[in-house]
Amino acid sequence: MDHFNYRDGALHAEDVPLSRIAEAVGTPAYVYSQSTLEAHYRAFAEAFAGQKATVCYAVKANSNQAVIRLLARMGAGADVLSEGELRRALGAGVPAAKIVFSGVGKSRHEIALALEAGVGQINIESEPELALISDVASAMGKRAAVALRVNPDVDAHTHEKITTGRKENKFGIDIDRAPAIYDRAGKMPGIEVVGVAVHIGSQLTDLTPFRDAFALVAELVGRLRAAGHDIRRLDLGGGLGVPYQDEVPPSPAEYAAVVKDVAGPLGVEVVLEPGRLITANAGILLTRVLFVKEGDSKTFVVVDAGMNDLIRPTLYDAWHRIVPVAERPRGTPERPVDVVGPVCETGDIFARDRALPVLNSGELLAVRSAGAYGAVMASTYNSRPLLPEVLVKGASFAVIRPRQTIEELMGLDVMPDWLA
């Protein structure tokens, strides 16, 4: 469900015509629906009603502080992966005790910052990291509440670049080696072992890999408790998929039932880290047609957004629905076109052989399901400034990140003395 719908022949974000936003802020631009963000978070959180569960929004999906603050006010914690994401979460009002610091490459500085802030949990992904965290915590006179992220070697059957739970992936600690590492961690002065963490990938549309991975982790919890470890928290990560094209992912309620079946008998607190599920279909990339280029064998629709603005199609071969902002009558003829951007790369393509009605220069298009891993992954390649982000609430909208100017972009460069 989302709140991007046609009214009187024009695509709206909630009660605001997208054409009005384009006129006010220009194109390309990201547009988010607050009602959709709220509805998606509520559906996920309510699925776990009655369970001892904490929902920590995965900030990497969309790190705009307005989005984080909105979710924090609804009760969300945060899953962060860097100093920047930690500072964003804290700045947006997420209580430190509801922040989980994840990631395979935390620096000494980041670990100290997390401990000073009082984050609720640090997820450990390697033995060297465990030793470093103990060292930093001891030097600060603190004990770090940690969970070891284990790798269960479960195939999530998702895109190879977003799978994280197989032995060949860089994430986590081999589950077979975990008991020995927990024994070591339990004797370290700066470490307080509180749980086990797992995350097997993103955009999963089948519950079977989840159930398989969670069952292995539940078995590990039993072994660790038998060895004397006080495992009271189970961090199950995120990864539940969303519909981009014709996928039919499980509902949050179906996912919650699996979690309850596996984790319920353990009597643990469950930590969940949805990101894409909340934000993906709550956002669109608004772009304008520059030219329609007729080739010998293809028609190219050249738009003003590029792969630097939304890299998912280039990076993941991701499919995004693309629709005209001006609605066409039912039965309007369509033809196959390639929707491409202006970036000087052959891979700067949003859609290949996509059936679309005849489009004209100057026309607005909406690239759907762009609220996750869109703006956060954008770059300034080809010296293209970062896009604005707009949040819509009912009949109102606000720019929650202004468009970067060329002057601001160029101002980041510093000339050495010998070239001044």
**Residues 40, 278: contact at Cβ < 8 Å?**
yes
- Which residue in 19, 35, 25, 16 sits closest to 282, CA to CA? 35
Residues 6 or more apart whose CB falls under 8 angstroms from that of 162 comprise 201, 202, 203, 316
- Which residue in 273, 278, 280, 276 sits closest to 55, CA to CA? 273
Residues 6 or more apart whose CB falls under 8 angstroms from that of 56 comprise 76, 77, 78, 79, 98, 99, 100, 271, 272, 273
**Residues 271, 100: contact at Cβ < 8 Å?**
yes
Tokens representing 281 are: 């279909």
- Which residue in 155, 194, 170, 58 sits closest to 104, CA to CA? 170
Residue reference for tokens 């996928």: 247
Residues 6 or more apart whose CB falls under 8 angstroms from that of 23 comprise none
Cβ neighbours of 299 (radius 10 Å): 16
**Residues 249, 214: contact at Cβ < 8 Å?**
no
- Which residue in 220, 215, 214 sits closest to 176, CA to CA? 220
Residues 6 or more apart whose CB falls under 8 angstroms from that of 29 comprise 21, 22, 285, 286, 387, 388, 389, 390, 403
Catalytic residue among 1, 226, 248, 344: 344
In sign, the C-alpha dihedral spanning 249, 254, 256, 259 is: negative
Residue 86 sits at φ, ψ, to 5 deg, of -60, -45
Residue 344 annotated to the active site: yes
Residues with a known catalytic role: 344
